[in-house]
Copies of this chain bind each other. A is one copy, B any other.
Amino acid sequence: MVDWDLGRLRVLHELAERRTLGAVAAALGYTPSAISQQLATLEREVGQPLTEKAGRGVRLTEAGRILAERAGVLLAGAEAAAAELASLSGEVRGTVRAGGLQSATRHLLIPVLEQLQREQDGLRLELTDLELEQALPELRLGSLDLVISDEYDGHPRPRPAALRYEVIHDEPLRLVLPADHPRAAGGGPVPLELLREDVWVAAAAGTGHHASVVATCRAVGGFDPDLRHRSNDADVQVELVRSAGAVALMPVLALPAADPALAVRDVAGAAVRRRLVLLTRDAPPGPALAAVLAALAERARRLARA
């Protein structure tokens, strides 16, 4: 008959994921001191230590890990109950927090945001730019409700458990060249091997884009690209093409607006593709999230037709 405080359980649950009190405090909007005291009260209630010192931080004890896991189940149950009640009322209202990479945000989330602001008054959509590595824990912990990520041919993302995973868009990568590049003439597909001497730009090492560019040049063009510049920002990549004479392979959604200084061409031969992937918690969505997901799906269909 212990009516545990779900807030305190959430603290423990977040601590299991975020490792330090400070991170938990930041995530929940408290000071570290408050977190420390909440944990202390929880330990008093439980009657056994949940954390132990580990260097300058803390580590969960066995009991702590078990309770944190249980807490996750309880919190998910509470969320499910909230969703059920919300869909009972049917009203589309509340806040939905979305995270995603740049091009997805621009072409999917922002149009959806605009549309919903017009159509649904009680709905509030919050956007955050995040790397997938940061976004996944937030999604699992509930501080994000949906995440859009990407996935390149040959470099599948790990599929984390307890998350729903749906491909919502699939598009080719195209070549971006300076308009005065010798291979830009004509306008037809460009054989990749003709770009073996060029300077390339791609995303940072370790990303799907980077790996995909290298793999494509090797497989289709038969060479290792001189991948001299690395930026995860599409605008920076474009600027390097425009001003530094580099070449790039970019997904359609990341392409710049028509620009006389740039030429965009298909790759001759095998097309490389990337997919946009929608991640949500694997639980029935409330009406607010459902509305966002529906709008998102609609938007993705229109992108595919375009």
Q: Given B1, B10, B84, B143, which contacts A142 in the complex, CB threshold below 8 Å?
A: B1
Which residues of chain B are near A283, meaning CB under 8 Å? Answer: none
B78–A74 contact, CB under 8 A?
A: yes
- Each complex incorporates copies of this chain amounting to 2
B46/A63 in contact, CB under 8 A: no
In this assembly, does A304 line the interface, its C-beta being within 8 Å of a C-beta of chain B? no
Give the nearest-CB partner of A88 in chain B.
B63
Task: Choose one: B73, B142, B143; the contact of A77 (CB below 8 Å).
Answer: B73
A85 touches B63 (CB 8 A): yes
Q: Taking the complex as formed, is A7 at the interface, i.e. its CB lies under 8 A from any CB of chain B?
A: yes
* Contact between chains at B77 and A62 (CB < 8 Å): no
Residue on B nearest A47 in the bound complex, by CB: B89
Which residues of chain A from 27 to 70 have any CB-CB distance to chain B below 8 Å in the complex? Answer: 46-48, 62-63, 66-67, 70
Complex Cα distance, B87 from A62, in Å, reads: 12
The answer to whether A6 touches B7 (Cβ under 8 A) is no
Query: Given A4-B78, A143-B1, is A88 in contact with B66 using a C-beta cutoff of 8 Å?
Result: yes
In whole Å, how far is A6's beta carbon from the nearest beta carbon of chain B? 4
Secondary structure class of chain A's binding surface, majority of residues:
helix
Query: Is A121 at the interface (CB under 8 A from chain B)?
Result: no
> Within the complex, what minimum Cβ distance (angstroms) separates A10 from chain B?
6
List which A74-124 residues lie within 8 A (CB) of chain B: 74-75, 77-82, 84-85, 88-89
Most buried by B among A1, A5, A71, A142: A1
List the B side residues contacting A85 at CB < 8 Å: 46, 48, 63, 66-67
From A46, A84, A85, residue with most partner B Cβ within 10 Å: A85
In-complex Cβ contact of A82 among B2, B6, B143 (8 A): B2
A197 on the interface (CB 8 Å rule)? no
- Answer yes or no: A3 CB below 8 A from chain B CBs: yes
CB distance from A163 to the nearest CB of B (A): 17
Q: Are B74 and A70 in contact (CB under 8 A)?
A: no
Q: Give bound CA distance, A96 to B66, whole Å.
A: 23
Q: A48-B89, A66-B84 are in contact. Are A10 and B6 (CB under 8 A)?
A: no
Provide the A180-223 mask, 1 if CB < 8 A to any CB of B, else 0: 00000000000000000000000000000000000000000000
Nearest B residue to A70, CB-CB: B81
- Expressed in whole angstroms, the Cα–Cα distance for A253 and B275 within the complex equals 75
Mind listing 12 A-B residue pairs with CB under 8 Å? Answer: A2-B79, A3-B5, A3-B10, A3-B78, A4-B6, A4-B81, A4-B82, A47-B89, A48-B85, A48-B88, A67-B85, A74-B81
Q: Which 6 residue pairs spanning A and B have beta carbons closest together? A: A70-B81, A3-B6, A3-B7, A74-B77, A48-B89, A2-B82
